[in-house]
Amino acid sequence: MNTCSKCGAELYENAKFCSECGTPVKIKVFCHQCGTELKATDKFCYACGASIQQGNSSAINIDMDDFQIEDGVLVKYLGDGGDIAITNGVTSIGNEAFSECTNLISVAMPNSVTTIGSMAFEDCENLISINIPNSVTIIGYGAFSDCTKLTNINIPDSVKIIKSRAFQSCGIKNIIIPDSVTVIEESAFYNCYELENITLTNDIKEISTGLFENCSKLKRVVIPNGVTNIGYAAFRDCKALTDITLPNSVLTICESAFSGCEKIVNISLSPYIETIGKCSFAACYKLSEITIPTSVTIIEDFAFCNCRNLKTISIPDSVIDIGEGVFSACDSLTDVKLPNGIKKIKYCTFYKCHNLKNIFIPDGITNIEQAAFSGCTSLESITIPDSVTEIDKSAFSGCDKLVLPEKYR
């Protein structure tokens, strides 16, 4: 096996540059038209005038005139793309340095690089290969966003921070986050439509806002113990996600965290969770049952809205507030026992629960609000305690089988 002339690292067969230091491998380049031997940096054949870029895709562009470098920062790439190697000594890939370089195919970075700046490779739509050296500590905002042909990438264990939207709309299929990473900012993998599997670091404390939103092929995620917060829309519209286990460390599920995860059948909630956020499981069409742990005190608005297959749900007495529309359009729900601590059945709580037949309203409820049970066409019986002082006139509209006590008609 050949070795790099600069650092001595072994070179793989047909390697175009050293994966350790980025030094280009010396290759012979011939004109495709007349056969004349050329320099790797030649763009045109001096014998016949043919363009090297057009006829020799194996030529690596290493012309230093293609790089604007200032104080170790690669400020701007000025070349024509193709396969390139960044010279050793560059410490940072500047903001937007390669942005919209649509002809870029592969990039080798040397071990001197420590930072990849904001939108550094944004919208490099033909980029298929890039090495992130084991010296990089920060991957910047939108660094590889919209690199749609980038299907594989290795994040080395030197990386500590992955900034917002770093890999948004990339074509990556699998990714392992090393334990060195302590922060993954919001929407870092948003709309990675080919992503199927991801292994998360054990040291992160939250699944940030929109982290995996719209990753439509993501099937399974293990949330590491230590995570306390599942952020806003963290897994929204992950339509292939079938199961997820939340560790005991999780205390909060934020708004829309799992909404639109239409294939989730079961989910195990942490026994220490305190709040189930607004729309957190809305439109989880296959979710058939869920047990609310006794640590939960608040279920926010529309939390389980449109969970069409939800048949049973156990709500503990620890819950003191059930928000608006929480179970609206849960077509398969048949029986519900409400907790003793709530004071109101709010707007549209059970709206259009077509198969709901029986419900027990505990003593202590004072208000049944607008459309609370509207459209519950199978509702046959309901017990209304003396504590109820106000029932909105639309609370039971469309409940054709229900005969209310005379004083509530």
Interval 93-129: pLDDT, tens: 999 999 999 999 999 899 999 999 999 999 999 999 9
Range with the poorest average pLDDT among 46-60, 101-115, 220-234: 46-60
Confidence grade of residue 307 (pLDDT, cut at 50, 70, 90): very high
Range with the poorest average pLDDT among 36-40, 109-113, 200-204, 297-301: 36-40
Residue with tokens 């926010």: 300
Name the β-bridge partners of 197: 174, 220
Give the mean pLDDT of 78-107: 93
**φ, ψ for residue 174, nearest 5 deg:** -140, 145
Confidence grade of residue 29 (pLDDT, cut at 50, 70, 90): low
Q: At residue 14, does pLDDT exceed 80?
A: no
Contacts 24+ apart (CB under 8 A), 219-224: 220/244, 223/247, 223/250, 224/200
What is the model's pLDDT at position 72? 92
d(CA 388, CA 80) in angstroms, rounded, equals: 75
CA diameter of the chain:
103
What is the model's pLDDT at position 389? 92
Taking all residues of the chain, what is their mean pLDDT, rounded to a whole number?
Answer: 87
What is the model's pLDDT at position 112? 93
Q: At residue 43, does pLDDT exceed 70?
A: no
- Secondary structure E strands in 60-160: 60-61, 67-70, 73-77, 82-85, 92-93, 104-108, 115-116, 129-130, 138-139
> Are the C-beta atoms of 232 and 209 separated by less than 8 Å?
yes
Q: What percent of the chain has pLDDT over 70?
A: 84
**When comparing pLDDT for 199 and 172, which is higher?**
172
**Rounded to two decimals, what is the model's pTM?**
0.81
Q: At residue 71, does pLDDT exceed 60?
A: yes
